[in-house]
């Protein structure tokens, strides 16, 4: 069973995070874990009361369904209520205490399988560190390390987190300030601005202008792909927000509200450049354009394409266009945040007398925000295409703000303009 299949069954069968983990663990053991993406998988599993990290690995190529042996190893560790954690494509569970059932759930075979596979020597006198044994976490990539560093140092800034120490970071850390939905959203949008790992600040983006001295190219972008990195010689620090992201969410599970009012702040394509839309758990449907996607052709009836194109186009002249995009994106997002408490208050009122009406209300609300966002972004696609068009009458979008300013003052010449 693949990880996404385990998720489907868990969501269909579980009322709590612990139930979900138990269901997935049992299914994986019984039917065998099949890698769908890349080796082991971690899931963040939460309910209105607690949060767990669930990790699962296969048991090697020799396992068969008929062997009578478990077809997976899995473990889960609870995140303390006042902690945060992050799973950046690397195993995170360390030492396991199976007797501490409040904080750990683990398959019975987690040590024997490792011994059988030659991954762990019980006689070597070393503790069993799950993430090192199964996940090779001591050799985590910089891409994983830098994300761990960013999340931990954002939410627990008083520690002296070092990037190179990332493999030794604790499983989770106490949040120094209570964390809000918008804090987490900001984290998902993050590209390390203001840190040493901001790729837009690396030397190759800078050049000497005869008048301005050393300036940064408006082409500098954190959403740079491997070809460009290789050509420019950019050192890669994998940002949290990526251009190739398909979709993203921040979920909000609250024990004091009816389940239908649980929220998934959901969006499409790159979280850096797309809005987070409140999708309530109790809704009955979403607009057609959010259920339909063909990546093999641009499709104006598919909302994903609007967000994907805005992200791609913005990235063509990031230095010039990102600030402009933010002037559209952030007010839209702020308005959604501002209205949210009122929407929830009303839904709750309706829920008390007529849950089905509350669901209709929430369905219409979520759907209206989706449609507004999608329309907004299709409008942006056209505007960005115009900005990038090099035949536009006002000299083209490649003239970034500073340059335009100097142009107006007559400090630089518009050679392009002369050619018109």
Q: Which residues bind another protein (CB under 8 A)?
A: 335, 338-339, 341-343, 345-347, 349-350, 354, 357, 360-361, 364, 367-368, 371-372
Rounded to a whole number of angstroms, the minimum distance from the CB of residue 335 to another protein is 6
Nearest-angstrom CA–CA distance, 58 and 66 = 15
Rounded to a whole number of angstroms, the minimum distance from the CB of residue 354 to another protein is 7
Q: Which residue has the tokens 């569970």?
A: 93
Phi, psi of 95 (to 5 degrees): -70, 145
Q: Which two tokens stand for residue 160?
A: 């002296």
Rounded to a whole number of angstroms, the minimum distance from the CB of residue 199 to another protein is 37
Nearest-angstrom CA–CA distance, 308 and 294 = 12
Q: Closest CB to another protein among 49 and 368?
A: 368
Which residues partner with 247 through β-bridges? 268
Q: Closest CB to another protein among 62 and 342?
A: 342
Rounded to a whole number of angstroms, the minimum distance from the CB of residue 287 to another protein is 10
Q: Which two tokens stand for residue 111?
A: 């040590």
Question: What b/e sequence results for 219-248 when a residue is b if at least 16 CB atoms lie within 10 Å of its CB, and e otherwise?
Answer: bbbbbbeeeeeeebebebbbbbbbbebeeb
Q: Closest CB to another protein among 285 and 411?
A: 285
Q: Closest CB to another protein among 335 and 413?
A: 335
Rounded to a whole number of angstroms, the minimum distance from the CB of residue 229 to another protein is 42
Q: Closest CB to another protein among 148 and 343?
A: 343
In terms of C-beta density within 10 A (0-12 exposed, 13-18 middle, 19 or more buried), how is residue 133 classed? buried
Q: Closest CB to another protein among 259 and 368?
A: 368
Which residues partner with 43 through β-bridges? 54
Which residues partner with 266 through β-bridges? 249, 277
Q: Which residue has the tokens 């020799």?
A: 62
Rounded to a whole number of angstroms, the minimum distance from the CB of residue 356 to another protein is 10
Q: Closest CB to another protein among 143 and 355?
A: 355
Q: Which residues contact 149 (CB under 8 A, 6 or more apart)?
A: 161, 162, 163, 166, 197
């Amino acid at each position: 069973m693949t990880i996404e299949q385990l998720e489907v069954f868990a969501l269909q069968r579980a009322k709590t995070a612990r139930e979900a983990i138990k269901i997935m663990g049992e299914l994986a053991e019984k039917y065998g874990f099949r890698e769908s993406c890349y080796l082991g998988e971690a899931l963040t599993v939460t309910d209105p009361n607690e949060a767990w990290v669930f990790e699962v690995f296969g048991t090697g190529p020799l396992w068969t369904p008929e062997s009578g042996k478990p077809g997976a190893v899995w473990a889960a560790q609870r995140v303390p209520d006042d902690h945060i954690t992050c799973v950046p494509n690397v195993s995170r569970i360390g030492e396991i205490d199976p007797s501490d059932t409040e904080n750990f759930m683990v398959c019975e075979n987690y040590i024997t399988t490792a011994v059988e596979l030659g991954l762990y020597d019980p006689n070597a006198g070393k503790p069993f560190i799950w993430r090192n044994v199964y996940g090779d976490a001591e050799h985590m990539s910089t891409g994983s390390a830098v994300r761990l560093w960013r999340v931990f140092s954002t939410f627990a800034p008083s520690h002296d987190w070092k990037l190179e120490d990332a493999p030794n970071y604790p499983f989770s850390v106490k949040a120094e300030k209570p964390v809000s939905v918008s804090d987490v959203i900001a984290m998902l949008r993050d590209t390390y601005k203001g840190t040493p790992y901001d790729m837009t600040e690396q030397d190759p983006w800078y050049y000497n202008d005869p008048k301005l001295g050393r300036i940064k190219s408006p082409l500098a972008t954190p959403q740079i792909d491997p070809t460009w990195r290789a050509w420019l010689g950019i050192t890669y620090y994998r940002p949290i927000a990526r251009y190739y992201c398909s979709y993203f969410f921040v979920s909000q599970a609250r024990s004091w509200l009816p389940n239908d009012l649980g929220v998934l702040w959901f969006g499409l394509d790159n979280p850096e450049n797309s809005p987070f839309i409140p999708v309530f758990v109790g809704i009955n449907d979403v607009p057609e354009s959010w259920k339909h996607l063909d990546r093999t052709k641009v499709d104006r009836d598919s909302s994903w394409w609007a967000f994907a194109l805005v992200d791609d186009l913005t990235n063509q002249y990031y230095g010039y266009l990102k600030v402009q995009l933010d002037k559209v994106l952030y007010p839209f997002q702020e308005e959604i945040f501002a209205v949210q408490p009122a929407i929830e208050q009303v839904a709750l009122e309706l829920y008390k007398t007529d849950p089905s009406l509350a669901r209709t209300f929430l369905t219409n609300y979520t759907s209206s925000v989706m449609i507004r966002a999608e329309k907004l972004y299709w409008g942006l696609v056209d505007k960005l295409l115009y900005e990038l068009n090099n035949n536009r009458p006002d000299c083209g979008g490649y003239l970034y703000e500073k340059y335009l300013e100097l142009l107006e003052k007559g400090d630089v010449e518009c050679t392009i303009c002369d050619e018109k």
